[in-house]
């Protein structure tokens, strides 16, 4: 393997871009098959190029145990050498950098992986008129989605990036970057712009040969994902159908009609499956596909963020979805549930960020009762009670006094009908309603008597 690395270093020093790309792709194959096991010091003894050694250190760091301090040092050195690298290598470095940001940003303050510091890394590139400015643009969007900053995402997307012809990129990088841009538009609710990106990817996938894209999985995966994303765009804006090629419409209707109906029906499990399968923001380490616990938590946050932006809520169907997953895996594990709601704070998160959840207030009591009777687990009913209480808080903030009283009656009645006997009983619930609504004990008692 040392012979290969010497040749790789020589090619890099000669600045032979096509050969550098070939060597880089070959290195990834050898690394994936565990044929390369040389540590940095061993390579340093036979290779004199400081620039290549710096980049090699980043390559082996992808498989190393996470170290925030060492990783930060490596990327400070690597970023000043990006302009000499082929597109795919630059793209992979930025992907790995994003992964490390997700993994390290939640750690204590004794490191540099903070939002403000990381964003500054992109500033020298963002003002660039070349492909590096475009890479920084995509990287910035990814970071903003990690940070759940919807307002800033919309601003950056509205500004756009018109200064570089992205079709001049390496085919593989064009596919990945355009898909990420399309998904950012989708999350922001800009379905027209999103569908244009996905159609561009599909068009180019048809043009590229196996020589252009060596990994056949890329062709199959991105074709399937783009069609599913276009299906999602159609559900949100049926007028887009007129702008799609007939063959694309035919393929969508034959392959994705069922899930489109589930989205229209507000089936929350379908939304979760879509984002967990198609979102480019649920990252893994590019070389190993492993996920560190901190990064898993960030991935889960990204899915929550996407759900809260685009989900079509149907009250009773959503209520069933919530109850199905009240007892979920911890964030450190791979989330298999649709919507993790293990604590009151998580319930508050969804209530505060999903105006559609308020529609449950207008559902018939009998419908809520029927859903509840399907779930016998006391913990799930306690979670539901906390959820309903949070609805009530929102109503209180809106100062709809009549709706507050009407909801209070419904709330008490539902608990009585299902024979609720959990930790929070009817009396506790009434005390809560009285406290939040600021009504008298007499008025609260009358609510119960009226039932």
Would residue 119 count as lying in a domain?
yes
DSSP 8-state code for residue 451: -
Say whether both 308 and 335 belong to one domain. no
CB atoms within 10 A of CB 432: 19
State phi, psi for 186 to the nearest 5 degrees.
-60, -45
Output the pLDDT for position 283.
Answer: 61
| 3 state SS of 240 | helix
**Which residue segment(s) compose the domain that 387 sits in?**
326-451
Domain boundary among 312, 340, 362: 312
Would residue 215 count as lying in a domain?
yes
Say whether both 429 and 305 belong to one domain. no
CA distance 333 to 81: 36
Q: 318: closest CA among 283, 252, 367?
A: 367
Would residue 280 count as lying in a domain?
yes
Output the pLDDT for position 321.
Answer: 47
Output the pLDDT for position 212.
Answer: 55
Domain boundary among 10, 32, 61: 61
Would residue 66 count as lying in a domain?
no
Say whether both 232 and 379 belong to one domain. no
Output the pLDDT for position 20.
Answer: 92
**Cβ 263 vs Cβ 271: under 8 Å:** yes
CA distance 298 to 284: 11
Would residue 332 count as lying in a domain?
yes
Would residue 44 count as lying in a domain?
yes
Per-residue burial over 131-157, b = 16 or more CB atoms within 10 Å of its CB, e = otherwise: bbbbbbbbbbbbbbbbbbebeebbebb
Say whether both 332 and 308 belong to one domain. no
Say whether both 300 and 343 belong to one domain. no
Say whether both 386 and 357 belong to one domain. yes
Q: 182: closest CA among 192, 173, 172?
A: 192
**Cβ 288 vs Cβ 187: under 8 Å:** no
Would residue 71 count as lying in a domain?
no
DSSP 296-329: HHHHHHHHHHHHHHH----HHHHHHHHHHTSS--
| Confidence (pTM) | 0.69
Say whether both 57 and 130 belong to one domain. no
Say whether both 189 and 132 belong to one domain. yes
- Count: domains in the chain: 3
Q: 228: closest CA among 256, 249, 200?
A: 256
Say whether both 293 and 237 belong to one domain. yes
Say whether both 287 and 148 belong to one domain. yes
CA distance 387 to 369: 15
Sign of the C-alpha dihedral computed for residues 392, 393, 395 and 401 taken in this order: positive
C-alpha atoms less than 13 angstroms from C-alpha of 266 in its C-beta half-sphere:
15
Say whether both 32 and 96 belong to one domain. no
Mean pLDDT by groups of 10 residues along the chain of 451 residues: 86 89 88 69 84 90 84 91 88 88 72 82 76 86 84 85 68 90 89 93 79 67 92 88 88 89 73 80 57 56 64 47 39 33 42 46 63 55 55 58 61 61 51 50 52 42
Say whether both 143 and 277 belong to one domain. yes
Q: 237: closest CA among 302, 193, 197, 279?
A: 193
Would residue 321 count as lying in a domain?
no
Domain boundary among 287, 312, 337: 312
Output the pLDDT for position 98.
Answer: 85
């Amino acid at each position: 393997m040392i012979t290969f690395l010497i040749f790789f270093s020589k090619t890099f020093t000669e600045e032979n871009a096509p050969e550098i790309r070939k060597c880089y792709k070959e290195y990834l194959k050898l690394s994936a098959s565990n044929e390369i096991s040389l540590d940095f010091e061993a390579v340093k003894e036979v290779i004199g190029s400081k620039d290549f050694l710096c980049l090699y250190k980043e390559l082996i760091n992808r498989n190393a145990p996470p170290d925030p301090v060492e990783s930060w040092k490596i990327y400070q050195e690597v970023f000043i050498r990006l302009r000499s690298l082929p597109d795919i290598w630059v793209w992979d470095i930025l992907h790995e950098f994003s992964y490390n940001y997700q993994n390290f940003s939640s750690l204590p303050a004794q490191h540099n992986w903070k939002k403000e510091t990381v964003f500054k890394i992109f500033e020298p590139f963002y003002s660039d008129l070349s492909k590096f400015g475009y890479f920084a643009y995509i990287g910035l969007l990814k970071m903003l989605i990690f940070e759940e900053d919807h307002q800033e995402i919309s601003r950056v997307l509205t500004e756009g990036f018109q200064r570089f012809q992205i079709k001049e990129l390496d085919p593989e990088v064009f596919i990945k970057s355009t898909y990420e841009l399309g998904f950012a538009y989708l999350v922001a609710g800009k379905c027209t712009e999103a569908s244009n990106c996905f159609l561009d990817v599909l068009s180019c996938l048809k043009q590229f040969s196996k020589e252009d894209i060596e990994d056949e999985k890329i062709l199959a995966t991105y074709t399937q994902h783009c069609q599913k994303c276009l299906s999602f765009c159609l559900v949100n804006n049926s007028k887009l159908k007129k702008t799609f090629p007939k063959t694309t419409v035919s393929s969508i209707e034959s392959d994705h009609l069922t899930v489109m109906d589930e989205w229209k029906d507000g089936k929350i499990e379908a939304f979760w499956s879509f984002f967990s399968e198609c979102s480019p923001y649920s990252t893994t380490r590019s070389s190993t596909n492993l996920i560190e616990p901190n990064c898993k938590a960030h991935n889960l946050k990204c899915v929550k963020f996407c759900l809260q932006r685009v989900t079509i809520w149907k009250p009773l169907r959503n209520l069933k979805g919530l109850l199905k997953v009240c007892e979920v895996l911890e964030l450190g594990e791979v989330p298999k549930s649709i919507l993790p709601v293990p604590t009151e704070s998580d319930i508050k998160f969804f209530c505060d960020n999903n105006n559609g959840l308020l529609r449950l207030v207008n559902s018939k009591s009998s419908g809520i009762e029927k859903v509840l009777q399907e779930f016998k687990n006391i913990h799930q009913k306690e979670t539901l009670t906390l959820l309903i209480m949070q609805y009530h808080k929102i109503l209180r903030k809106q100062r709809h006094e009549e709706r507050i009283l009407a909801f209070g009656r419904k709330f008490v009645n539902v608990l009585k009908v299902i024979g609720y006997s959990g930790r929070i009983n009817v009396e506790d619930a009434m005390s809560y309603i009285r406290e939040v609504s600021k009504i008298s004990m007499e008025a609260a008692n009358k609510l119960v008597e009226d039932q």
